[in-house]
Amino acid sequence: MKKILVIAPYPYLPFFSGGQKFIAQFLAYLADETELTVIGVESNDPSTITNYRLLPWLRKSFTRYLDPRLIGRVSREAKTGGYDAIICEHPYFAWLAILVSRRTGIPWYLHSHNIEYQRFRSMGKWWWPILQFYERLAFRKADKVFFITPEDRAFAINQWNIPAANCVDLPFGVTIPSFPSDKQAKKQELANLHGLPSNETLILFNGLLRYKPNLDALMVILEKVNPLLLAEKNFSYRIIVCGKDLPETLNGLEKYKNQHVLYAGFVDDIEAYFTAADLFLNPVQSGGGIKTKMVEAIAYGATVIATETGATGINREVCGQKLITVPDNDWTGFAKAVIAQRDQQAVTPVGYYDYYYWKNLARRIAAIL
């Protein structure tokens, strides 16, 4: 079994965002296929780790990204630990991975979650050109780069001239290997929990709401899509919004309470909501990478209505009838798609689980390392 050293740049235990969840689940499954050690932020909660070692060497503060003491410390661990490979989650510690690799001769792999500079450019950050230069350098120095979407992989090959042989697909995975058998039971449980009629179409939106692309998407649902749904006769539905850090100015979505909207806040068992949902809405129009919540929603049996931007990165060939895409900004078309799909009972294809199941992904990556 190969020994792998991972550098995880930000807290991921417990996880709240899609990026945190990606790291947490990827490492847990990779640890079943390798002997894994993770260098992480000191504020991680290690109580849920069962199959790998966590070294809390990274400071909580932003200064961790520029800590020169890490060079010697990580190099010593890499030399004495007999590691076969180093994985750097995100490009931010690529400088450290490069230096440690030079000192030890251990190959290093960059796990890219987005083309980061594009994401921050879309958010109006002035420093995106600096990140662009650094990120491109990191891609070129890595022995291989793992990409979350085919689009990101193609960008690296075509725009930054990264050799195709060094570029590997590694999408966000799911923890269930087949279509859930308890969808109707979960839907009834959720209806009972929130005091909802059992015959309503359950429509779910989930995301970290301090993240602007998610908040913008929520406001589109509330202000542009839902008024069109309300105008539809004989459509009994409920939009359930899950996610933490809703701005106080929105007052728990009280304004929308009588418009078939329920704010559930952060929920510990989001999988139960995915399983219960008939539809999942993803009208995201900015941000990078794959929308992890959409991958999970399809796995748990919800039909996803997404903008073209929202569907970026997903393998549409394996989604069957579970993914419906609408052009960006076409909110009339988006609402019509929701209404058209309200009674659909399509099952997620077997091929979807073959492609996205975490155990399969971890085995493929372990064979490369």
- pLDDT tens per residue across span 44-64: 999 999 999 999 999 999 999
CATH architecture of the domain 3-170 equals 3-Layer(aba) Sandwich (3.40)
Domain limits of the chain?
A: 3-170, 183-354
Topology of domain 183-354, per CATH? Answer: Rossmann fold (3.40.50)
The CA-CA-CA angle for residues 58, 61, 63, to 5°, reads 80
Q: Which of 70-74, 190-194, 340-344 has the lowest mean pLDDT?
A: 340-344
pLDDT band (50, 70, 90) for residue 356: very high
One-letter amino acid for residue 67 of the chain: D
Question: What is the bridge-based pairing of β-strands 144-147 and 108-112?
Answer: parallel
Distance of CA 138 to the CA centre of its chain: 22
- Average pLDDT, rounded, for the chain: 95
How many of the other CB atoms lie within 10 Å of CB of 200?
16
Show the tokens assigned to 102: 């030079």
Domains 3-170 and 183-354 share a fold: yes
pLDDT at 230: 97
pLDDT of 122 strictly over 90? no
Helices (H), 105-172: 116-122, 128-141, 150-159
pLDDT for res 211:
86
Give the type of residue at 64. R
